[in-house]
Structures are given as structure tokens and as C-alpha cells.
Amino acid sequence: MTNSSNSLIWLASASPRRSALLSQIGVAHTVRPVDIDESQRPGELPLDYVRRLAIAKAEALWSQLDVQERAPVLGSDTTVALGNDVLGKPRDRDDAMRILRRLSARTHQVYTAVAVRHPQGCDCRVSVSDVSMRALREEEIAAYWESGEPGDKAGAYGIQGLAALFIERIDGSYSGIVGLPLFETGELLRMAGWSIGKAAVQVGVSA
């Protein structure tokens, strides 16, 4: 697959949320997910974990591109953590219920790393946000699972959906919690040659 003539970058992610956030800031892009091992290493801290995966995704796609296809590649990864305990995507209903019970009435952290691979190397930034969740009733957790929303999301919830009703407070980057911290993303793209002037021209161009 060849990068669209209108695209500025490759997005090494299948996440529709990340694609939408890039479009929000006028970054035309072509989606091309990569398949890497996302297992956490023994003793690996949440920040190190998301940083490693974001870089690995960007590098994996860069290595797959022909020379004439090469444009900046963006890789990203998000995880939810309680302390140093990573809470990934739920395996099933019981796992989602367990995760949400743990998050209930507590403040947890959302780590999102973004990496941009370009001809000079790979740069990475990590956004860390505190998210305070109100106490959840058992029937709410069950109903939320039945909505279908938590199944593919780290921490078994999506702040941009129904779970917004559960969140009392955030301290950090809302877009980072959704899946792509736009401040850090903009800084990395600027380092790779992008500018907000290009964004003004590209707004409205489909990914």
C-alpha cells in the first residue's frame, strides 16, 4: 500500500481514536497497523512499557516501508496503571468487572507514549495523567460491560464514551487518556518538519 499523496505521515495503529485525533489537528495520515508482541516484560514499569511499545511500533512500520514510501511514522501506546500494576485490555467479562472494581473510588494513572520515526532517528514522549473515578455500583459495571465499550480498551473503559459518567476528575491530558496526547504529538511532528501552517491547509483532508 502506498502512502496517499495528501498524507503527511504514516500511523502505525488501527485505533480509530488516534486517527480522529490526528485529523483534529490537521495531520493528514495513512493508517497502516503493525503486529508486534505487546507483552509486558517482568518488572517493567508502566512508563517504560508504553515507551518501548510506541517506539517498537514506529520502528516496525519504518522497516517495512520501501525507500520511496518513507515519510514520518507515528507509533503510540496507552496503558492504565494502579501504582506499578499495569491494567491492560480485559480478557473477558469477568476480567473487565475485576478491573473496574479495582478502579472504583480510586485515582489511577493513564500512560500514553507517542513516537515519531523519521530519517534522522526516532523521538518519543510520554504523557502521564491522573484519573479519579467515583465509586461504581456492581450493576453499573455489569451494564457498562454489556454496552460493548470496554472490551478493546486498556483499563476496561473509554473516557470518550459512556465511562465519562464515572470520571470525577482528571489531571493531565484528556487527549492522552483517549489515546494520543496532542501536545506531545505536535512537538514531535514539529521536530520532524511539520507545522501548524500545514495543518491549516490539511484540515478537512480525509485520512
HSE at residue 31, side-chain half, CA atoms within 13 A, is: 13
Task: Give me the catalytic one of 37, 48, 66, 77.
Answer: 77
Q: Are 152 and 85 spatial neighbours (Cβ–Cβ below 8 Å)?
A: no
Strands (E), the chain: 9-11, 29-31, 73-82, 85-87, 107-118, 121-133, 167-171
Instruction: Reply yes or no on whether 37 is catalytic.
Output: no
Amino acid found at 28: A
- Calculate the dihedral angle through the C-alpha atoms of 129, 130, 136, 142, rounding to the nearest 10 degrees: 20
Distance separating alpha carbons of residues 104 and 160, to the nearest angstrom: 18
Query: Which residues are part of the catalytic machinery?
Result: 77
